[in-house]
A and B are shown apart, each in its own frame.
Chain A
Amino acid sequence: GQNIDQPTEMTATEGAIVQINCTYQTSGFNGLFWYQQHAGEAPTFLSYNVLDGLEEKGRFSSFLSRSKGYSYLLLKELQMKDSASYLCAVNYGGSQGNLIFGKGTKLSVKP
């Protein structure tokens, strides 16, 4: 079966750093995506990892270890607008790009 686990909720302080973990067991693997989703809105793309290692994009970084089935999203210099759900999604479907999503981690940023 397909399984993606992430913490349900996290709380952090404005200006701080937070790491959101994701572990996965899927029938196939062709890359891992992180999406941000504000309440009632569509997911928006943050990052993509297909090879092991760290990808950095401004205040956001994402790490992947394929051997461990593990990824994390690192958010630096947190801002209030970063309060949202963060969705880990695995492309298990090869070139078709079908995504299976985790349940999402709801991040609350406090002043």
Chain B
Amino acid sequence: EPEVTQTPSHQVTQMGQEVILRCVPISNHLYFYWYRQILGQKVEFLVSFYNNEISEKSEIFDDQFSVERPDGSNFTLKIRSTKLEDSAMYFCASRGRGGDTEAFFGQGTRLTVV
């Protein structure tokens, strides 16, 4: 069964450092997302990406965040200068077509900023 894969599964970084979280969405999917979940809290939308551009971003997705689809398979989330409050589980998701289909989530990257 096709799946969304994320690497690394865990990342520990020092405050102020840049991190890049990587995702390989399901191959024929068109819509890509990043969500995050701070420990014990709800899943929060960060950004959606379609047709090689950001289609929507939340208030959380400030100038420290960026996304790229550098080739036909990878979808990355970059945090330029990490803060302690960026510590969370980051989930990548993809969807085949419009909003009436389910989003498939990757297993997540647990980011710990120390």
Q: Which residues of A contact B (CB under 8 A)?
A: 30-31, 33, 35, 37, 40-45, 48, 50, 87, 89, 91, 93-104
Contact = CB atoms under 8 A, between A and B. Distances in A.
A42 B99 contact: no
Interface of B: 31, 33, 35, 41-45, 48, 50, 55-56, 89, 91, 95, 98-108
A100 B41 CA distance: 13
Contact of A42 (B42, B50, B102, B105): B105
Contacts of A91: 99-100
B56 A93 contact: yes
A101 B33 contact: no
Given A42-B91, A42-B108, A44-B105, A96 B99 contact: yes
Contact of B98 (A43, A95, A104): A95
B43 A98 contact: no
A35 B56 CA distance: 22
B102 A101 contact: no
Contact of B100 (A48, A89, A104): A48
Given A42-B91, A43-B43, A96 B50 contact: yes
Contacts of A33: 102-103
